[in-house]
Amino acid sequence: MAKSLFLTSVQDYMMVHRYSKRTIDAYLYWIKFFILFCNKQHPTSLGESDIKRFLTYLATERHVSAKTQTLALNAIVFLKTKFLNQDVGDLSGYSHSHRQQKLPVVLTCNEVSALLATMTGHHYLMAALLYGSGLRRIELVRLRVKDIDFDFRQIRVINGKGGNHRIVTLADELLTVLREQMKIVEVTFARDRTIDGYAGVWLPDALALKYPNASFDLGWHYLFPATRLSLDPENNALRRHHFDENSLNKIVKKAARNAGIRKEVSCHTLRHSFATHLLQSGVDIRTVQQQLGHADVKTTEIYTHVLKHGAQGVRSPLSGLLSPQDA
């Protein structure tokens, strides 16, 4: 279904101001939802009571998570304050969502090995980096060639969640396949340069101005490029974007099925497993927090809960009654 002229203008505004594609998609979804909820009234006529009524509806009727409710709030606040230049008023007093966060699904070391054994090529490398370096899915696909530091065995994550930078560990076992992947990127880049109209890799405005030739520098190209060239929606420039993050999730899910793993597995499961296995091996929680890029150590503590409340932390009283063969 085609977007309305209003939503198209909101999208154009966000694109001009360099909002990420995932933020644009998310904000448009919630702005449209808000407008429909208010019987298609124009947002300029909607005020704080309408916003609070909508947020309460999400919590009490739709039972969304606190994170989802906050995303909806952020989208509406953006719409009113940034796009429409209006005050949102006092937004206290609406019903907050209290749906608890899901406990993380964690694979055993044997399950991770089995999953990776079903994969080859760059699919294997991507999954191995998700687990071996604890990367978020979007952080992985946005990696540039220059972000890999072979000398210090580390990866520079630029503009991770919250726009923060961090350094994460890099397994020695991946150095050879990473170099092979970089050769593939180099060949792809060389082929792209022969195509009329190729505009180089996308760079944020500030970097494009500071380094005008960087778009044609191999180091700035994505480590995992898309399979085909496409037009930049901002200016119709011909570029090669990064590997699609949704496709990566499907690849990991398929690998888990092929490995006979019955748990609900996603890319984030490999990140959960990275954190849990580090804690199991004795790495202190502050180090794990830094590796994951968590702003608050309380977020990291959920992995200690997984360890403490299972058989490794609490011995079942049944174990004192039955021998393994009885069970």
322 pLDDT more than 80: no
| 322: in domain | no
Q: For the segment 151-163, what is each residue's pLDDT rounded down to a tens digit?
A: 999 999 998 887 7
- Tell me, yes or no, whether 141 and 232 share the same domain: yes
Rounded to the nearest 10°, the torsion over CA 30, 28, 76, 78 is: 150
127 pLDDT more than 90: yes
What pLDDT score was predicted for residue 326?
58
| 204: in domain | yes
What CATH number did the domain enclosing 64 receive? 1.10.150.130
In the set 122, 136, 142, 144, the catalytic residue is 136
| Other C-beta atoms lying within 10 Å of the C-beta of residue 127 | 23
- Tell me, yes or no, whether 78 and 119 share the same domain: no
Catalytic annotation present for 136: yes
Q: For the segment 241-299, what is each residue's pLDDT rounded down to a tens digit?
A: 999 999 999 999 999 999 999 999 999 999 999 999 999 999 999 999 999 999 899 88
For the chain, what is the domain count? 2
DSSP-H helix ranges across the chain: 5-16, 21-37, 48-60, 66-77, 109-117, 121-133, 137-141, 175-192, 205-210, 245-258, 267-280, 285-292, 297-308
- Tell me, yes or no, whether 31 and 107 share the same domain: no
- Tell me, yes or no, whether 220 and 277 share the same domain: yes
| Interval 79-87 mean pLDDT | 95
Structure tokens at 208: 């494009």
In the set 122, 271, 272, 277, the catalytic residue is 271
In the set 239, 240, 272, 294, the catalytic residue is 294
| 323: in domain | no
| Interval 172-180 mean pLDDT | 97
- Tell me, yes or no, whether 76 and 111 share the same domain: no
2 pLDDT more than 60: no
Choose between 305 and 78: higher pLDDT: 78
| Interval 208-228 mean pLDDT | 91
In the set 32, 156, 161, 253, the catalytic residue is 161
What pLDDT score was predicted for residue 1?
45
What pLDDT score was predicted for residue 324?
62
- Domain edge (last residue) among 55, 83, 111: 83
What pLDDT score was predicted for residue 311?
64
DSSP state of 104: P
- Tell me, yes or no, whether 251 and 308 share the same domain: yes
- Tell me, yes or no, whether 49 and 153 share the same domain: no
| 93: in domain | no
In the set 53, 82, 253, 268, the catalytic residue is 268
| 319: in domain | no
- Tell me, yes or no, whether 41 and 167 share the same domain: no
Catalytic annotation present for 271: yes
pLDDT band at 206 (very low <50, low <70, confident <90, very high): confident
- Tell me, yes or no, whether 169 and 67 share the same domain: no
What pLDDT score was predicted for residue 17?
83
- Tell me, yes or no, whether 182 and 263 share the same domain: yes
- Domain edge (last residue) among 31, 48, 83: 83
| Interval 118-125 mean pLDDT | 97
Q: At what angle do helices 297-308 and 285-292 cross, to 10 degrees?
A: 120
Domain residues for the domain of 110 are 102-313
- Tell me, yes or no, whether 300 and 156 share the same domain: yes
| 321: in domain | no
DSSP string, 248-311: HHHHHHHHHHHTT--S---HHHHHHHHHHHHHHTT--HHHHHHHHT-SSHHHHHHHHHHHHTST
What pLDDT score was predicted for residue 92?
87
Which of 1-15, 86-100, 223-237 has the highest mean predicted lDDT (pLDDT)? 223-237
Contact 267, 253 (CB under 8 A): no
Q: Phi-psi region for residue 157, left (φ > 0), alpha (ψ -120 to 50) or beta? A: beta
What CATH number did the domain enclosing 160 receive? 1.10.443.10
The span from the CA of 113 to the CA of 107, in Å, is 10
Quote the pTM value.
0.81
Q: What percent of the chain is predicted at pLDDT more than 90?
A: 74
Catalytic annotation present for 294: yes
- Domain edge (last residue) among 54, 83, 112: 83
| 156: in domain | yes
Please, what is the average pLDDT of the chain? 91
Rounded to the nearest 10°, the torsion over CA 1, 234, 147, 174 is: 40
Catalytic annotation present for 161: yes
- Tell me, yes or no, whether 54 and 201 share the same domain: no
Structure tokens at 170: 């890099």
Catalytic annotation present for 123: no
| 326: in domain | no
Strand, helix or coil for residue 243: coil
97 pLDDT more than 90: no
